[in-house]
Structure 1
């Protein structure tokens, strides 16, 4: 009985091997080796190659982003872009941001300038700053709509130093 079992097991193993080998040969003949890593259809690439390609795409996309336009009248220095820019806001001037601009006040005594009832968003605290409210130093501020910004508080002895990301204008205080 042991010989019969051994023959049966050998026969089943041989048939299984032939079936597996036949299906592998058949799929390669049909051109299904594209899923094989390292083949011409699915090459293996290095991490540095992928990083170079992604960096090139990011650089190209950043080049497509435009910055602000020129200035006119008593308006000065229009900024824009994806990086924070350090801006000095002298006494007697106010920084008016375009919609979606962000800023962080680094030095000075700033207050919010908001011409309507809504405010600017203090993202650090999760609060809304309305006209005349003190803007905390080192807090991230988001301007949801154009025409809002900051200026030095009354009685301040120095201007502001602000990091700005996005388009803005420096205007004379009224």
Structure 2
């Protein structure tokens, strides 16, 4: 009975794998296109690089919509807007005005409405995307 059950389960698993596998698109088809090295190189090259930004104490770094921020050193607080705060995607929380920004957490500015960081002490921040720095 055990051998019969094992054989039956093996047969069902084999049949299911074949039917699921049969639904996968063929490589090179419109459902799974092949791409050239030049296409990959072009699209990877257009991705904006992370830049390191040094801010003095009292400065503000304001991001545009979609800007990514990572505080590397120093103490910063969040600058929010009426529509919300900075998305801390590392913790899955929203940082509101005046909340301490944790180091090495990925923050995303969801809208270009004045959100960013305030430098309590001199900062080093990695930034990907549009931003401006205002001092004092």
CA deviation string 1:91-150 (max 9, x = no partner): 231110000111110000010011325111111110000010000000010110112100
- Residue 57 of structure 2 is matched in structure 1 by 91
> SS of the counterpart of 1:124?
coil
- Residue 124 of structure 2 is matched in structure 1 by 161
Equivalent residues, number: 102
- Note the C-alpha offset of 1:172: 2.6
Taking structure 2 as the reference length, what is the TM-score of the superposition? 0.67
Taking structure 1 as the reference length, what is the TM-score of the superposition? 0.53
- Note the C-alpha offset of 1:62: 5.2
- Alignment RMSD (CA, Å): 2.0
1:57 paired residue among 31, 39, 61: 39
Which one has a bigger Cα radius of gyration? Answer: 1
Runs of 4+ in 1 over 3 A off after TM superposition: none
- The structure with the largest helix share of the pair is 1
More contact order relative to length (CA 8 Å, sep ≥ 6): 2
- Tell me the distance in 2 between the aligned counterparts of 1:115 and 1:89: 21
Q: Tell me, which stretches of 5 or more residues in structure 1 are unaligned? A: 1-49, 66-80
